[in-house]
Homo-oligomer: A and B are copies of this chain.
Amino acid sequence: MKENKIVRLKDDIKLNNPILLVGLPGVGHVGKLVAEHLIEELNAEKIIEIYSPHFPPQVLVNDDSTIKLVNNEIFSCKANDKDILILTGDHQSSSTEGHYELGDLYLDLAEEFGVSRIYTLGGFPTGQLTHTDGVIGAVNNHDLIEEMGQYGIEFKEGEPGGGIVGASGLLLGLSQFRKLDALCVMGFTSGYLVDPKSAQFLLGILSKILGVEIDITPLEERAKEMEKIAAQLAEMEQQQRQGQQFLPDTSSDEDLRYIG
């Protein structure tokens, strides 16, 4: 697979002026938690799968021992008569160049579906273990600020000071070239753990923006599961790292020291 691969699960999708929500893995997994919760609660239907050589060479194992090649996916649903697309997935790009390439791929799809606005969802690392309710925003069009401030999204001068790294930010930047409105909404989170509380608060604000009721009870459980998976992966990675030091196949770009 040398190229990104878009698998369309449904023909003839007609959407009326939809918005796109993007919740990919990231700080506190806040964006992904929110996206997965919305997909469940709004009975969103998967319409597109995206595979890419810029994702890690990895499959996940389902409960029934079948596998799933890591990917990103787009779901579609109606909420309060509005069409909503939700982009979520297992990973962001493994490489800098892949981030840009996938970013444009997502926006090509957004344009194809006539998306009128993009909300990227993420976490804002406070570095503090005690939870504070709060959501901070950044926009690619100043006109959005007044409207969005009404829903309780805070806009703080020049925050986050280090900018926004990854798809959440990049999509705002790349959208500008297409005159597509986009904002990034980040829930306060410690930055250390999968954070359902942050996701809960962010969901509250989103439900106001979307004008729909969303049950947030199942969120805690979803977060626990996500954390379990994360822990397993971390453990496995550590085991491997230890194990690999005795094995001759660990060559990677950074091990390019010459013999001879």
Q: Which residues of B contact A245 (CB under 8 A)?
A: 234
Among the listed B67, B100, B174, B250, which residue makes an inter-chain contact with A140, where contact means beta carbons less than 8 Å apart? Answer: B67
Shortest CB–CB separation between residue A204 and chain B, in angstroms?
A: 19
Q: Is the pair A94, B256 in contact by a Cβ cutoff of 8 Å? A: yes
Among the listed B1, B56, B173, which residue makes an inter-chain contact with A251, where contact means beta carbons less than 8 Å apart? Answer: B56
Number of this chain's copies in the complex: 4
Shortest CB–CB separation between residue A97 and chain B, in angstroms?
A: 4
**10 A-B pairs with C-beta separation under 8 A:** A1-B101, A2-B100, A57-B100, A63-B157, A65-B159, A66-B142, A92-B249, A125-B236, A162-B237, A230-B247
Which residues of chain A (189-210) have a CB below 8 Å from chain B?
Answer: 190-194
Which 7 pairs of residues, A with B, have the shortest CB-CB distance? A69-B173, A166-B258, A161-B232, A168-B260, A25-B249, A57-B99, A162-B233
List the B residue with the shortest CB-CB distance to A154: B65
Q: Which residues of B contact A192 (CB under 8 A)?
A: 242-243, 246
Chain B interface: which of A10-18, A116-124, A214-222?
A116-124
Q: Is the pair B169, A67 in contact by a Cβ cutoff of 8 Å? A: yes
Assuming the contacts A235-B127, A256-B96, asked whether A65 and B166 have C-beta atoms less than 8 A apart, the reply is: no
